[in-house]
Amino acid sequence: MKILSLFYLAASLLGVVAANDANQGHTKNSCIHLNAPHVPGANVISIKAMELLNHTVPATPPFLLDSIYGLNVCEVDVVLTHPGADDQVLVKVWLPLEDWNGRFQANGGSGYAAGEFDLTLGPSVKLGYSSASTDAGVAVNPLTPETWALLPNGSVNMVTLTNFAYRSIHDMAIVGKEITEQFYGSKARYSYWNGCSTGGRQAMVAAQRYPDLFDGILAGAPAIFWASYVVAEQWPQVVMREENTFPSQCELKAFTDAAIAQCDELDGIKDGIISDPDLCHFDPYRLVGTCVCCNGIEVTISEAVARVVLKTLQGPFGPSGQSLWYGLNVGTALDFLVNTTVVSGQRVGLPFFVNDAWIRYYLAKDANYNIGDIDYSTFDRLLSQSEREYGSIIGTDNPDLSGFQKAGGKLLMWHGLSDQLIFPKGTIDYRDRVERLMGGSAKVNEFFRLFLAPGVDHCAGTPTLGAVPSDPLGALVTWVEEKKAPATLAASVSGSQRGARILCPYPLVAHYVGGNPRSAQSFQCI
């Protein structure tokens, strides 16, 4: 799973592209004679356009697995500012010089980056979309907000946080759609949002705050309850500190493997995938006293290590035992949130960068805050503080989607059940709340469908053995344009169990009914 961390490092390489100067593929549309778009609530500082011919976006595994060659696009950079904010926001729009499909697609970001520019613009344009991405006026660095989180006086920079949280989604859509109309001489027939993780959170911003912007919204592994879940990611680190126990990655893998071995065949197939984690009653204490081989050394699993794993799976709880947030599903890898490192020969905790930065900059408001000193009581206080101070700003957990429903929009959401960064049960909780408010499952399914992907890690990060959705964007387009709601999503399984599966709209689950387990026809939604 360490390869997944490259996903975030990849985004820091934005703008690094290769191109040649081949003088071909010109279009009758003018790339340079474009006017500044009108953006409500913002002023355009500059607009710059140029043709990129035979352009290449290089592969950046695991996020962009294959290089994209031969792109001929008009690249438009629009810089805008918000009155009184003293900010500069870049919106980058790519317009295919040929074979435009009549659609516009806005793309989301990852971590602390609001957009990924070429890494998402390239694939979108390759499919024929005019496409946009934005930096929200903050540094294009998914790993940390250190350059934009705090003002010189140590207070939170609310301008940049507002841009990152929601305002940039509106601006990007307005700019992208107007530039598209100027360039092609007609409006995009349909507009879409596409994003995972932070991009999934941004998707829900669009659905809740700006319901008229997009006809279709694709939200993968959405960071819906940001103010809550980001602090909850720190919980395993707090548990390790309180237990004074820091398991090695090898020990943690033993628990993941044991859970999968116990519950793999509950669905009738032995494929290394737990199809329904709620049916898996795995007890970490069963491993106490067993030996695992770690780098050639026999290690005996202790009760303290089992307790760390159990509390991680349970999720954070308060002084009186009340649940504060969800834990991870059984069978999920634990190497990001229960991560450790060795310092001066001693194993210590190593927090995940998202929760580490959030606590330092937005809660402690101190870049040098010692996050390793957080105990149970401090954790409880920080979680409450985060929800109180930032829930209304960066939270996207409003279950009232009536505006989006009335606008005729379609929302397709998917989440891997083995996501170890954004807790899948939080996404399920959100969907349940929407159902309770808006008339039940059948009514909500008319415009909002959630698909859960068994065995799949965060945003289908590699390696993953689970059933990864093959083309959720295509399913969304069919739903929007042909009015055919997805009864299932096509999915694929990699590795030794390579084959086709289906994902079912929540609360249905894909059930094996016999036949070739590598064929989608062997599964039905139950």
- At 198-245, the pLDDT tens digits run 999 999 999 999 999 999 999 999 999 999 999 999 999 999 999 999
pLDDT at 14: 36
Distance CA 190, CA 453 (A): 27
Phi, psi of 103 (to 5 degrees): -120, 155
Would you state the structure tokens that stand for residue 410, as one six-digit string?
């379609």
pTM, rounded to two decimals = 0.93
Q: Which residue stretches of the chain have pLDDT < 50?
A: 1-27
Position 473 scores a pLDDT of: 98
Amino acid at 185: G
Active-site residue 212, yes or no?
no
How far apart are alpha carbons 523 and 15 in whole angstroms?
43
- Residue 264 bears catalytic tag: no
pLDDT for res 223: 97
Q: Which of 233, 227, 226 is nearest to 349 (CA)?
A: 233
Among this protein's residues, is 302 annotated catalytic?
no
Instruction: Report phi then psi at 378, rounded to 5.
Output: -65, -40
Which pLDDT score is estimated for 15?
37
| pLDDT tens digits for range 104-139 | 999 999 999 999 999 999 999 999 999 999 999 998
Which residue in 110, 197, 275, 522 is the catalytic one? Answer: 197
CA distance 508 to 101: 34
Cβ-based neighbour number of residue 234 at 10 Å = 24
Domain range annotation of the chain: 1-185, 230-385
Sign of CA dihedral 47, 53, 58, 59: positive
Closest CA to 413 of 136, 220, 151: 220
Choose the catalytic residue: 171, 264, 458, 522: 458
Q: Pick the catalytic residue: 87, 335, 397, 419?
A: 419
Nearest to 94 by CA among 112, 110, 116: 116
Q: Is 512 helix (H, G, I), strand (E, B) or coil?
A: strand
